[in-house]
Amino acid sequence: MGIYDANQHRMTGLDCCGRSQWREAIPHFTAAIKASPDLFTLEDFSAATVAADPALRLAVAIYNDRGGCYSYLGDFPKAASDHAVAVALAPSVEPFRQNLANLSKKWAQQCCQEGSFKQGTVLFTRAIGLGYGDASCHFNRGLAYAKIRRYTSCVEDWKKSYELGNRSIAQKLADMEASLAGQGPRDYGTLVSTLPKSALSNFVPAPTLIAKFPLVSCEHLAVLIGTSLAAAKQSNVEPGEALDSLCGACEKGTVLVEESGQEYRVLSEA
pLDDT digit string (tens) for 89-106?
888 889 999 999 999 999
177 and 227 in a common domain: no
60 with 39, same domain: the answer is: yes
Q: Say which CATH number the domain at 45 has.
A: 1.25.40
Tell me if 100 is assigned to some domain.
Answer: no
CA dist 98 and 23 (Å) reads: 22
Specify if 251 maps to a domain.
yes
Spatial contact of 258 and 264, defined as CB atoms under 8 Å apart: yes
174 CB neighbour count, 10 Å cutoff: 11
Domain boundary among 36, 57, 92: 92
Of 219, 226, 216, 215, the residue nearest 264 (C-alpha): 226
Consecutive 10-residue averages of pLDDT for the chain (270 residues): 83 95 95 78 60 79 94 93 87 90 94 92 92 93 89 91 92 82 57 53 39 43 58 64 56 52 57
Provide the pLDDT for residue 163: 94
Tell me how far apart the alpha carbons of residues 168 and 256 are, in angstroms, rounded to a whole number: 32
Q: Are residues 10 and 82 in the same domain?
A: yes
Closest by CA to 85, choosing from 101, 70, 67, 71, is 67
In a domain, 103, yes or no: no
Task: Report how far residue 165's alpha carbon sits from residue 12's, in angstroms, rounded to the nearest whole number.
Answer: 43
Within a domain: 101: no
Pair 63, 142 in one domain: no
**Cis peptide before 207, with omega less than 30 degrees from 0?**
yes
Strand ranges of the sheet holding 252-260, from the earlier edge strand across to the other edge: 188-196, 263-269, 252-260, 211-215
Residue 102 forms part of a structural domain: no
**Residue 80 φ then ψ, to 5°:** -65, -40
61 lies in some domain: yes
Report the share of the chain in percent with pLDDT over 90.
39
Indicate whether 236 belongs to any domain.
yes
Domain interval for residue 159: 111-181
Domain termination site, one of 27, 61, 92 = 92
Does the pTM surpass 0.95? The reply is: no
Q: Going by C-beta distance under 8 Å and a sequence separation of 6 or more, which residues neighbour residue 129?
A: none
The tally of domains found in the chain comes to: 3
The pLDDT tens digits of the residues spanning 193-248 come to 555 555 444 444 333 333 444 444 444 455 556 656 666 666 676 666 666 555 55
Domain boundary among 166, 181, 196: 181
